[in-house]
Amino acid sequence: MARKSAETRPNILGAIGGWLWLAVIILPIYYIFITSLRPREDYYSENPLSWPSNATLDAYVRVLENDFVRFFLNSVVVTACAVAVTLAVSLMAAYVVVRNRNRFGRNLFRVALLGIAIPIQAAIIPVYYLIVQMGLYDTLLALILPSIAFAIPLTLLILTNFLREIPEALFESMRMDGATEWKILRRLVVPLSRPALATVGVYQALQVWNGFLFPLVLTQSAETRVIPLSLWSFQGQFGVDVPAVLAAVVLSVLPMLAAYILARRQLVSGLTAGFGK
Amino acid sequence: MTIAAKTASRGARNRSARPAGPSPWMAAPALIIFGVFAIVPLFGVVALSFVDWDGLGSLSWAGFDNWTEAASDPVSRNALWLTIKLTVLCVLFQAPVSLLLGVFLAGRQRYRALLATLFFLPLLFSSAAVAITFTALLDPNFGVGTALDADWLSQNWLGDPELALYVVVFVIGWSFIPFHTLIYQAGTRQIPRELYEAARMDGAGPASQFFRITLPMLKYTIVTSTTLMTVGSLTYFDLIFVLTGGGPGNATRVLPLDMYLTGFRSYDMGKASVLAVVLVAVGLAVSLGLNRITGASRMDSQSEGS
């Protein structure tokens, strides 16, 4: 009896802390949302946290009239290409690490482990040099290639750990049937690793979508601008038009919010996959 | 492809032979992209720290000039000091909060699951978006201070050199505590329930259960999370760049920011590379330390990706 009451006794301190932190998290998000609906002229007169008395979507119109659609499409192209290529090349490499029993596979894994520790900030100057030398400066490819490179280590690590759980017998039986390595990759490895691909894919999409340093250093013109950079330039351009800037913030987070609602489990496990436990 | 097919079928006929693994060439695309855009730059940045380059023209040998210049530059020294200060403050703020929240969220109650869902939201925002939001929210005239009519909230948060760094620490915490909370939540759920049952039999209250069981069992999680926080604080760039631009004055000009401004605003790539090398060195040292402490062998049996 005493045991049971100890188990179910509510943790009041914890609950207070939890709800307090919720307030800290939600207040800025609530503020972004209501301010984006506030008319420009009311921004200076109304209470910043009150519901706008003349709620309007004008701020969104101003943002969309300023090429936001193009920035959005640039971000979609960069994110989709970077994630697709990262998944494809990392899965092939992970297959080699798991199935190639000699030293090559092990060393590959070690390089990936080390690669996780390379900060983008530290490599940015040589990356800039390489991109300029290759004539790729201010193109979307200049964003895609380095993004792939820095996504590979963690992707390879997660996929490798996943492929190791596939029973040896499955590979053997396909090989007995005379399947080539490519066929095994297509017919066995790809279908079985679909959950891991989804997990790490959603995670890397979040990283690329929100990436700031590569676009800042490797692109320049409005033609190649991606969303995070556009938020920054809106801030300079609109200046005092805070509702428009925050409307752009809302639009920038919508795809990630959709991903979170549709694939919450994948996103959460992707974030903890490399380090959890 | 045909060669692979032949070796595979030969392997099938000759069962005593070692099974042929996939050709190493399958790893080539990943290795090439990773090599060119991550490994080469890692060595390249060391090389660039010994040359003079304005970012456009040609390179010329500079010897150790950049190094002595960076070592004697008060701005860079200050940047290193600020980075250390920022790292310590970030860990002191984030570690206890995420530990407590993570342990709390590990409970299976319905409302805690709801809280966990909402706590995740900051992770969806880009650093640029977070910085822009807080710039507006902390505005001394039209921000949260006016809304709540509280004088202590109406300070010039980002314009006061005494306050700006602490604001940066808070905003970084706002965006990254959710991630560390997730790690602690996962770590706490791994603790066997029997330990708590046994402790309750012995009459241990909630506080002593927390200090005698939860904390010691989370040892590795604490090491992992704290190391990630440390490496993360060394490299915070985008958030501070958009939030303060390093100012006011140089009050928040941490090492990565100093590197960017030196390289891409003052066009002194050689000296910026020196600062980047320092960043890599510290980052690698901390990460290798993590590997050593937690044991890389753990990596073999992770099925978290499922």
Peptide bond preceding B248 in cis form (omega within 30 of 0): yes
Of A21, A96, A182, the CB nearest to B27: A96
Separation between Cα atoms, residue A277 and residue A269, nearest integer Å: 11
ipTM here: 0.86
Domain span at residue A175?
61-273
Res A45: pLDDT:
80
- Same domain, yes or no: A149 and A136: yes
Please report, in tens digits, the pLDDT of each residue of chain B (306 residues total).
Answer: 444 444 444 444 444 344 567 778 888 899 999 999 988 998 989 988 898 888 787 888 878 888 888 888 888 888 888 988 998 899 999 999 999 999 888 887 888 888 888 888 998 999 999 999 998 888 877 777 776 767 677 777 777 888 889 999 999 999 999 989 988 988 888 888 888 888 888 888 888 888 888 888 888 888 878 888 888 888 888 899 998 888 788 888 999 999 999 989 888 888 899 999 998 888 777 767 766 766 544 443 333 332
Residue B289 to residue B306: CA distance in whole angstroms: 28
The reported pLDDT for the residue numbered B9 is: 46
User: Do both A37 and A106 map to the same domain?
Assistant: no
Q: Per the domain annotation, does A6 fall within a domain?
A: no
* CA separation for the pair A28, A102 (Å, rounded): 53
CATH code for the domain in which residue A189 is found: 1.10.3720.10
Is A252 close to B129, i.e. CB distance below 8 A? yes
Together in a domain, A137 and A240:
yes
Q: Tell me: do A86 and A217 sit in the same domain.
A: yes
In terms of CA atoms, which chain A residue is nearest residue B302? A161
Within this chain, do residues A177 and A86 fall inside the same structural domain, yes or no? yes
Task: Please report the residues numbered 147 through 176 in chain B whose beta carbons come closer than 8 angstroms to any beta carbon of chain A.
Answer: 147-148, 174
Residues of A in contact with B241 (CB under 8 A): 212, 216
Choosing among 3.40.50.720, 1.10.3720.10, 3.40.1790.10, 3.40.50.261, the CATH entry for B76-294 is 1.10.3720.10
Please give the Cα distance from A212 to B157 (Å, whole number).
24
A202/A194 Cα distance (integer angstroms): 12
Whether A255 is covered by a domain: the verdict is yes
Q: Assess whether A46 and A164 both reside in one domain.
A: no
DSSP states along chain A:
-HHHHHHHS--HHHHHHHHHHHHHHHHHHHHHHHHHTS-GGGTTTS-TTSPPTT--SHHHHHHHHTTHHHHHHHHHHHHHHHHHHHHHHHHHHHHHHHH--SHHHHHHHHHHHHHTT--HHHHHHHHHHHHHHTT-TTSHHHHHHHHHHHHHHHHHHHHHHHHTTS-HHHHHHHHHTT--HHHHIIIIIHHHTHHHHHHHHHHHHHHHHH--HHHHHH--SGGG--HHHHHHHHHHHHTT-HHHHHHHHHHHHHHHHHHHHHSHHHHHHHHHHTT--
If asked whether residues A104 and A16 sit together in one domain, one would say no
Longest Cα–Cα distance in chain A: 77
Q: CA B11 → CA A179, A184, B16, B25, distances in Å?
A: 11, 15, 8, 19
Domain co-membership, A43 together with A78: no
What predicted TM-score, i.e. pTM, was given to this entire model?
0.84
B49 within 8 A of A125, measured Cβ to Cβ = no
| B72 contacts: CB under 8 Å, gap ≥ 6 | none
**Contact with chain A for residue B264, Cβ under 8 A:** yes
State whether residue B146 is helix, strand or coil. Answer: helix
Do A127 and A89 sit in the same domain of this protein?
A: yes
- Residue-level pLDDT at A195: 86
Q: A162 vs B104: CB contact, 8 Å cut-off?
A: no
Question: B178 vs A25: CB contact, 8 Å cut-off?
Answer: yes
- Number of helices followed by number of strands (H, E) in chain B: 16, 2
- Rounded Cα distance between A131 and A141, Å, is 9
Contact B242, B127 (CB under 8 A): yes
Residues A135 and A41 in one domain: no
Distance from CA of A90 to the nearest CA of B (A): 6
| Residue among B37, B126, B264 whose CB faces A127 most closely | B37
Comparing CB atoms, the residue among B31, B132, B276 nearest residue A231 is B132
- B75 interfacial to chain A (CB closer than 8 Å): no
- The parts of chain A modelled with pLDDT lower than 70 are 1-10, 273-277
Question: How many Cβ atoms from other residues are within 10 Å of residue A49's Cβ?
Answer: 16
Closest Cα in chain A, distance from residue B153 (Å): 13
Classify the C-alpha dihedral B206-B208-B213-B217 as positive or negative: positive
User: Which residues fall within 8 angstroms of residue A131, CB to CB, at 6 or more apart?
Assistant: A137, A142, A145, A146, A218
Nearest to A218, CA basis, from A119, A149, A139: A139
In a shared domain, residues A51 and A158 = no
User: Nearest Cα to A145, choosing from A160, A128, A162?
Assistant: A128
At residue B304, the pLDDT reads 36
Contact B132 A245 (CB under 8 A): yes
Name residues whose C-beta falls within 8 Å of residue B93's C-beta, 6 or more positions apart in sequence.
B169, B170, B173
Contact B306 A231 (CB under 8 A): no
Q: Which of A220, A229, A207, A218 lies closest to A130 in space, CA to CA?
A: A218
Q: How far is A203 from chain B (nearest CA, A)?
A: 10
Q: Which residues pair with B60 in a beta bridge?
A: B52
| pLDDT score, position B175 | 92
Contact B21 A44 (CB under 8 A): no
Coil, strand or helix at B301: helix
Per CB-CB distance under 8 Å, the chain A contacts of B123 are 206, 271
Inside any domain, residue A128: yes
Partner residue facing B12 (CB), from A178, A232, A252: A178
Q: Is the Cβ pair B30, A93 closer than 8 Å? A: yes
When divided into structural domains, chain A yields a total of 2
User: How far lies B132's CA from each of A129, B112, B171, B195, B278, in Å?
Assistant: 30, 30, 11, 46, 29
Confidence (pLDDT) at A139: 93
- Tell me B24's DSSP state: G
Q: B199 and chain A: CB distance < 8 Å anywhere?
A: no
3-class SS of residue B73? coil
Instruction: Give residue B10's pLDDT.
Output: 45
The predicted-structure confidence for A243-262, as pLDDT tens digits, reads as follows 889 999 999 999 989 988 88
| Surface of B (119-148) touching A: CB under 8 A | 119-130, 132-137, 142-144, 146-148
Same domain, A119 and A234: yes
Give the span between the Cα atoms of A125 and B39, in whole angstroms: 13
Which chain B residue's Cα is nearest to A24?
Answer: B174
Phi, psi of B52 (to 5 degrees): -100, 130
Amino acid at B61: W
Question: For residues A108 and A103, what is the distance between their CA atoms, to the nearest angstrom?
Answer: 9
- Do the Cβ atoms of B299 and A161 come closer than 8 Å? yes
